Structure 1
Amino acid sequence: MSRERADMQDIRPLSIAIVNLMPTKIDTETQLLRLLGNTAMQVEITLLTMRSYESRNTARQHLDAFYRTFDQVRDEKFDGLVITGAPVEHLRFEEVEYWPELCEILDWSRTNVYSTMHVCWGAQAGLYRHYGIDKHELDAKMFGVFEHRVHQPLAPTVSGFDETFLAPHSRHTGTSIADIEAEPDLEVIATSEEAGLYLAASKDGRRIFVTGHPEYDRDTLKGEYDRDIAKGKDIAVPRGYYPGDDPAQPPRQRWRSHAYLLYANWLNYSVYQRTPFDRSSISNAASADEED
């Protein structure tokens, strides 16, 4: 930030909403709060759940105590929004029970949120709704920790990243890199030879798309693997996760630093430095960005 701009800074807490679509909501909210809280900025969080879908894995008491619905916040403005993944990849978007409500949220984000971070299935949903880019089925589940390469080292989202870095994936569908490259408003920021697209963003930085799960804890992939084995599913050992790909060994977490950096960069460059001090003018700022 330039001295001129720094001298003009009025500082206030950032208002961040999280649309938590994961079945393990408490684990996911803890993972995301850990990443979002690892900066010098004050962050105020609003957790959102779907009114059109009843969660089967999180106690109603927890949802009532800590979550709001979109209807309760639709008239509010937020500096940032995170939309998580969801275990609904095998369905077409239109077949997802809460798809109409999620479309409302995605459309609302254009005028009521300054910058949105879309994660895993949330990234696929955002690309489909905003740009008409569909997902495609994979031959086998993309499952493990993969090496990625930065293609746009000057992109603010990857400021401070190494040329290559690790990140977890856990998904049955993918997004074509060629489809992203064909969209004038988007740029490919990081990919993996094995896992494909990892990070893309709109050129104004207001929409970030992450196809993996940088927020995952050390044991999250292990929990998914153990669950599927217990159910008798034909699931491969997550690649690059256990030492020697041996599930008898304790897994290693080798992606934490870049996960923290990704979220810190988003909060700093896409949210804090660009969102209006007066949140009520976010829609005007968004319109100005789109015209530029």
Structure 2
Amino acid sequence: MPINIPKELPATEELRHEKIFVMDEDRARSQDIRPLNILIVNLMPEKERTELQLLRLLGNTPLQVNISFLRMKTHEAKNTSKSHLDTFYETFGEVKDRRFDGMIITGAPIEHLEFEEVDYWDELTEIMEWSKSNVTSVLNICWGAQASLYYHYGINKYPLPKKLSGIYQHRVSDQTINLVRGFEDIFNAPHSRYTAVSMEDIEKDPRLLLLSSSEEAGAFIILSKDEKHIMVTGHLEYDADTLAEEYARDLSKGLDISIPENYFPNNDVNQHPLNTWRSHTHLLFSNWLNYYVYQQTPYQWD
């Protein structure tokens, strides 16, 4: 089934090129079906790229999905045009009276800041508080996962000695949990961050389940026992070349940065990296939409 996205969204052409079924708002209105309504809180600087990465995953399930994009009113985006934001994004004040079946909070390259130092922290905490009664399930990615763990469970991040960047192997702790149903015992996933959360803090919190971790990258997939919150500390949604572009960007800034680990073939930056995590990315998103959104959300909100 298709994803329903705003007309003229730049990602539409690429999604159709990839044979992902896209439906615009006019056609969607003609279908007698209860679609899932998903709100994407896009905190990433290159918002159009993140839109494409997430939409191709949300459009690869049997469910019809309506997508809404949310931006921070208290933050001025520097890498996305104002016209794009004005056309395709809403603010919290414009959506707070609505209910959503699912919500995604993306990462953000602001790990050097304490949470309270982030200029839109108060606005984001208002959204996270609102989600408790207005969203069925929330999927939090990278910094968004750290923010969720901090706000909802009091688990803070801590700085790493150097940037964690590369592709790392992860193990699944419990194959019976629906979120990781169908996962291999060992699978790859990208990480790109300067901070981490304590596995010990997660494991001792009775409200949380640590479903997947890595010896090198630490805690990866965390599920709240009430199944309301899912925290993914890496970037399964990344394209094959995303880490390469981040590495080139960091070098151009003069940062003392290491080559992403386990990423370039033969560790040669002139060779094109391969996507070795794609199938598990699609599986995670389809499991989330099926088991934690579609099967849990009310057909009609009160």
- Residues of 1 paired with 2:138 and 2:251: CA distance? 35
2:161 maps to: 139
- Select the residue among 256, 260, 263 that pairs with 1:241: 263
Question: What letter corresponds to residue 155 of structure 2 in structure 1?
Answer: I
1:259 maps to: 281
1:176 maps to: 198
Show CA shifts across 1:196-242 (max 9, x none): 00000011221100000000011110110011112221110000110
- Residues of 1 paired with 2:48 and 2:160: CA distance? 29
- Select the residue among 227, 233, 237 that pairs with 1:211: 233
Structure 1 position 246, deviation (Å): 1.5
Structure 1 position 245, deviation (Å): 1.6
Structure 1 position 11, deviation (Å): 5.8
- Residues of 2 paired with 1:152 and 1:235: CA distance? 35
Show CA shifts across 1:79-104 (max 9, x none): 00000000110000000000000000
- Residues of 1 paired with 2:156 and 2:219: CA distance? 13
- TM-score norm. by structure 2 comes to 0.88
1:43 maps to: 65
Question: What letter corresponds to residue 275 of structure 2 in structure 1?
Answer: Q
Q: Does 1:112 align with 2:127?
A: no
Q: What is the count of residue pairs matched by the alignment?
A: 271
Show CA shifts across 1:10-38 (max 9, x none): 96100000000000000001100011110
- Residues of 1 paired with 2:238 and 2:285: CA distance? 13
Show CA shifts across 1:151-186 (max 9, x none): 011111101000010000000000001111111110
1:123 maps to: 145
Q: Secondary structure at the match of 1:238?
A: coil
1:83 maps to: 105
Structure 1 position 249, deviation (Å): 1.1
1:96 maps to: 118
Question: What letter corresponds to residue 110 of structure 2 in structure 1?
Answer: V
Q: Secondary structure at the match of 1:225?
A: helix
- Residues of 1 paired with 2:274 and 2:112: CA distance? 29
- Residues of 2 paired with 1:254 and 1:97: CA distance? 36
Q: Secondary structure at the match of 2:210?
A: strand
Question: What letter corresponds to residue 82 of structure 1 in structure 2?
Answer: I
- Residues of 2 paired with 1:178 and 1:276: CA distance? 35
Structure 1 position 250, deviation (Å): 0.9
1:289 maps to: none
- Residues of 2 paired with 1:231 and 1:139: CA distance? 19
Q: Does 1:64 align with 2:86?
A: yes
Q: Secondary structure at the match of 2:138?
A: strand
- Select the residue among 262, 267, 271 that pairs with 2:293: 271
Question: What letter corresponds to residue 246 of structure 2 in structure 1?
Answer: E
Q: Does 1:27 align with 2:45?
A: no
Unaligned residue ranges in structure 2 (runs of 5+) = 1-31
Question: What letter corresponds to residue 71 of structure 2 in structure 1?
Answer: T
Question: What letter corresponds to residue 97 of structure 1 in structure 2?
Answer: D
- Residues of 2 paired with 1:145 and 1:109: CA distance? 32
Question: What letter corresponds to residue 19 of structure 1 in structure 2?
Answer: V
- TM-score norm. by structure 1 comes to 0.91
2:20 maps to: none
- Residues of 1 paired with 2:111 and 2:251: CA distance? 20
Q: Secondary structure at the match of 1:146?
A: strand
The alignment yields a C-alpha RMSD, in angstroms, of 1.0
Whose RCO is larger (CA < 8 A, sep 6+)?
1
- Residues of 1 paired with 2:172 and 2:42: CA distance? 28
Unaligned residue ranges in structure 1 (runs of 5+) = 1-9, 282-292
- Residues of 2 paired with 1:63 and 1:106: CA distance? 21
- Residues of 2 paired with 1:101 and 1:274: CA distance? 27
